[in-house]
A and B are shown apart, each in its own frame.
Chain A
Amino acid sequence: MKIHIPNSAWLGNIDPFLRSFDASASGKLIVSAHKQWISVHPVVLSMVAALGLECESKNISFDRLEAKSIHYLKRMGLFDLLGVKSDIKITEHESAGRFIPITQISQVNRLTAFIEEMVPLLHLEPKQAKPIRYIISELTRNVFEHSESKIGAILCAQYYKKSNTIRLGIVDRGVGVHSTISSVHFVKNDSQAIQLALTPGITGTTRRIGGTDLNAGAGLFFIKSIAKVNRDFFMIYSGSSMYKLLKTGQDSRVKLLANPLNDKHSIEENLPYWQGTVVGVDLTLDKGAEFVELLNLISNIYSQSIKERRKKYYKKKARFI
């Protein structure tokens, strides 16, 4: 496998990075990076780490790490997590920053403690921490409930002062969205599976409206909605497809919609195959509505969507000819 950390890869311009990833020759990983400068979304680091964790340390090599900002990889804990030695040194005077280093969560019963310990590293006000811990909880639990990922969940997050934004990436190397969704719904491809997974009330555990006792099919819809209300990016990549919620302009009214294809979005369908699921989220802090207001908006569209599905379902009748 080969992955190149480019000069710039944020959710808005991540597509070329995803297109360039080479998934062949598993068990061996070559990581290269832009020579001058790397400036990338945490989801990129989570992806590199996830690939590396599938290889033995001796089969991971880092090529030409010459960029001035390469110490970022060290500070985020990439080399330590992968058990790879690096000569990169972080000098004392460098700011510790506000970030959650690349972390592997292998057991779901560690999640509550992780959230309690790690979210304070972002130094957020309580109001700002609410959506972040909500997102981390729902996305990480998804990994353990649906993905069967042998490496568990890999995540990291970073606060960016200039844009006052938290950026977060959670990745697994499990069965992927298509496999989970297609166990109970008919879907033709990865893209359609992702679309269903983002639709309120659709879960990979049952076709029953309202879900099972443990799954309502609301998690991903909630997270996409949090990003939408905040006018931020949200990205999910699984198999060979990627769905990206694009930013809602400041002059446009935010309206939550049940069908993700009705949101302003982009889709890539022929990407290199990612075994598992990758989710990237941005959350601009000063734009955030009160969390409870956001829940009001989400609640309305969620209930409306379930009601419509039930209505449609009960309208169905036997056809006698």
Chain B
Amino acid sequence: MKKTNLVTVKIFEKTGVFGEDKDLAKQLRTEFLWPAIKDGRKITLDFSHVEDVTQSFIHALLSELIRETEGDVLDNISFKNCNETVKKIINMVVSYMLE
């Protein structure tokens, strides 16, 4: 069976309103994100209903992907339904990983 080219991860279903569990973020990265990226699939991280995230959570979720792909992974990940706080923290992590 052909795999669908788009993977959507609903963060709220994993974290609830506050994304702060770094171990969970690591698990999401290693079990969902990395395999999907290696398969050449596009990923949507859907943050609807997530009120807040910590910098540590987003760092654990994304930093290794950004570092290993020298930022190319960002062409394959979309961030959906992020509020201003979540957007700010994602941008912060992306920014310092690319500098």
Residues in chain A within 8 A of chain B (CB atoms): 108-109, 111-112, 115-116, 126, 130, 133-134, 137-138, 141, 201, 210-211, 213-216, 218-219, 222, 291-292, 295-296, 298-299, 302-303, 306-307, 310
Contacts and interface: CB of A to CB of B under 8 A. Distances in A.
B12 interface: no
Contact of B91 (A214, A218, A298, A299): A299
Interface string B67-86: 10000000000000000110
A116 B88 contact: no
Interface in B1-55: 15-16, 18, 20-23, 26, 29, 51-52, 54-55
A211 B52 contact: no
A138 B59 contact: no
A141 B22 contact: yes
A7 B60 CA distance: 44
B22 A214 contact: yes
A303 B84 contact: no
Contacts of A111: 20-21
Contacts of A292: 84-85, 88
Contacts of B55: 216, 218-219, 222
A302 B96 contact: yes
21 contacts: A112-B18, A130-B51, A130-B52, A130-B85, A133-B20, A134-B20, A134-B54, A137-B20, A210-B63, A213-B29, A213-B60, A214-B22, A216-B59, A216-B63, A216-B93, A218-B59, A219-B56, A295-B88, A299-B95, A306-B96, A306-B99
A222 B96 CA distance: 15
Nearest to A309: B99
> Interface majority SS on B: helix, strand, loop or mixed?
helix
- The 5 A-B pairs of least Cβ separation, nearest first, read A213-B64, A137-B20, A299-B92, A295-B88, A292-B84
Contacts of B56: 137-138, 141, 214-216, 218-219
B81 to A, nearest CB: 16
A299 B97 CA distance: 12
Nearest to B22: A214
Contacts of B96: 201, 210, 216, 302-303, 306
> Interface majority SS on A: helix, strand, loop or mixed?
helix
A120 B8 CA distance: 31
Nearest to A134: B54
Given A133-B52, A137-B54, A116 B18 contact: yes
Contacts of A108: 23
Given A112-B16, A112-B21, A116-B18, A214 B60 contact: yes
Most buried by A among B15, B29, B67, B92: B92
B14 to A, nearest CB: 10
Nearest to A140: B20
A26 B82 CA distance: 50
A141 B92 CA distance: 20
Nearest to B99: A307
Contacts of B93: 216
Most buried by A among B64, B92, B93, B96: B96
A111 B99 CA distance: 32
A291 B55 CA distance: 13
A218 B89 CA distance: 12
B68 to A, nearest CB: 9
B92 A210 contact: no
Contacts of B52: 130, 133-134, 291
A295 B21 contact: no
Given A112-B20, A137-B20, A222-B55, A291 B63 contact: no
Nearest to B66: A210
Contacts of B21: 111-112
